[in-house]
Structure 1
Amino acid sequence: MATEKVQERCAGGVCYTLTRRRVRNINLRVRADGSVAASASARVPISYVDAFVAARADWVRAAQAKAAARREREAAEQPALPTKQAALAHMQALCRAYYPQFAAICPGGHMPKIAVRDMNTRWGSCSLRTGTLAFARRLCVMPMPAQEYVVVHEFCHFAHPNHGPTFWAAVERAMPDYKQREKLLKMR
């Protein structure tokens, strides 16, 4: 596969990133962060792409305004995150409450080390090698049933390091309503 050629351009008051790739049409989009991206075949002259973007400058500005409003709305709806220290204390207390249920499967039979990180793509993780359960700081602002689900989920990884059927059976034994709790994480 040929590498894509990327250029920063401005046309009609719109600054955009042009990516050359195998496409039939000129594609123009405004990303969630408000940046503008165009893609076009290498056969399309740069002047034609610039004219295409310039002709759609009003649409781009309207789309950027919508994206900015969406970001502001989401930021206003997002509860303030606790400090890392407060989040760690909270998650340690929650894990201590569930530890007796999982003591037999924890490495060395000891309470695992608990960590809090700024994770954007996960709610938690389990390291078998270090015996550490790590949780996203943003988990602390989720409903308590969802937090408890993530704690149970990660504890179960000490016995089942994958997401196979035996893992899910263990989660269900520990928390029969885990599916409803998991849905709470997907709502935000």
Structure 2
Amino acid sequence: MERTAGGITYTLTRRRVRNINLRVRADGSVAASASPRVPAAYVDAFVTARADWVRTAQVRAAARREREAAEAPALPPKAEALAYMQALCRAYYPQFAATCPGGAMPKIAVRDMNTRWGSCSLRTGTLAFARRLCTMPLPAQEYVVVHEFCHFAHPDHSPAFWAAVAEVLPDYKQRERMLKLR
């Protein structure tokens, strides 16, 4: 439930906790959690007493968001990223045609993924890539493309899978490190 106390708007969640927990999220919103036995007025007083800390934390969160936005390279439009990834995949396809489902060029997709650089769907024969991959150096992009193509032959990360990656890109470990630096 949303409440306001001491000029601070916050969301109160009731859960089994010993203390009142107060946090400022990355987006600047404020969340409090308290036991169902704690009166809402007591939580309001708690938030009011810490209003200065909350405002300082919100300023820090806003500064962090601005800094990250300034440091992050601009993502290309989705259509442009898709065309780029399709061209990159076409360049590597001949090496993997025998392992692709039906021997056909896989469907290529670009998505806004934050936790991975690419994925391979054996069921649909689709390779999907994070749009942010387009902002990485070309050797790193090539590594992700080869990595995902290799999953058609080896759906796991077994030694045979890594041997297949190394056969195409002997320096794949250095390329993979480029992805971990960002």
TM-score for both structures, normalised by structure 1: 0.89
Partners of 2:164 and 2:41 lie apart in 1 by: 61
Structure 1 residue ranges, 4+ long, deviating more than 3 angstroms after superposition: 163-166
> Aligned-residue CA RMSD in angstroms?
1.6
Structure 1: unaligned runs, 5 residues or longer: 1-6
From 20, 26, 36, the counterpart of 2:20? 26
Residue 144 (structure 2) pairs with residue 157 (structure 1): no
Aligned residue in 1 for 2:54: 60
* Comparing 72-81 and 122-131, the one that deviates more: 122-131
* Comparing 95-104 and 162-171, the one that deviates more: 162-171
Partners of 2:17 and 2:159 lie apart in 1 by: 41
Aligned residue in 2 for 1:187: 181
Deviations 1:60-85 (A, max 9, x none): 01100010011011111111111222
Residue 58 (structure 2) pairs with residue 48 (structure 1): no
Whichever residue aligns with residue 109 of structure 2, its letter is A
Question: How do residues 1-188 of structure 1 correspond to structure 2 at under 5 angstroms?
Answer: 7-188=1-182
Give the drift of 1:8: 1.2
Partners of 2:96 and 2:124 lie apart in 1 by: 17
Query: SS of the counterpart of 1:23?
Result: coil
Query: SS of the counterpart of 2:80?
Result: helix
Partners of 1:165 and 1:18 lie apart in 2 by: 49
Identity %: 84
What is the aligned length?
A: 182
Partners of 2:16 and 2:163 lie apart in 1 by: 46
Whichever residue aligns with residue 81 of structure 1, its letter is L
TM-score for both structures, normalised by structure 2: 0.91
Partners of 1:17 and 1:152 lie apart in 2 by: 45
Query: SS of the counterpart of 1:111?
Result: coil
Query: SS of the counterpart of 1:138?
Result: helix
Mark the CA change 1:179 to 1:43 in structure 2 (over 3 Å): closer, same or farther: farther
Deviations 1:87-110 (A, max 9, x none): 122111211221122122111222
Give the drift of 1:11: 0.6
Mark the CA change 1:46 to 1:79 in structure 2 (over 3 Å): closer, same or farther: same
Query: SS of the counterpart of 1:149?
Result: helix
* Comparing 126-135 and 146-155, the one that deviates more: 126-135
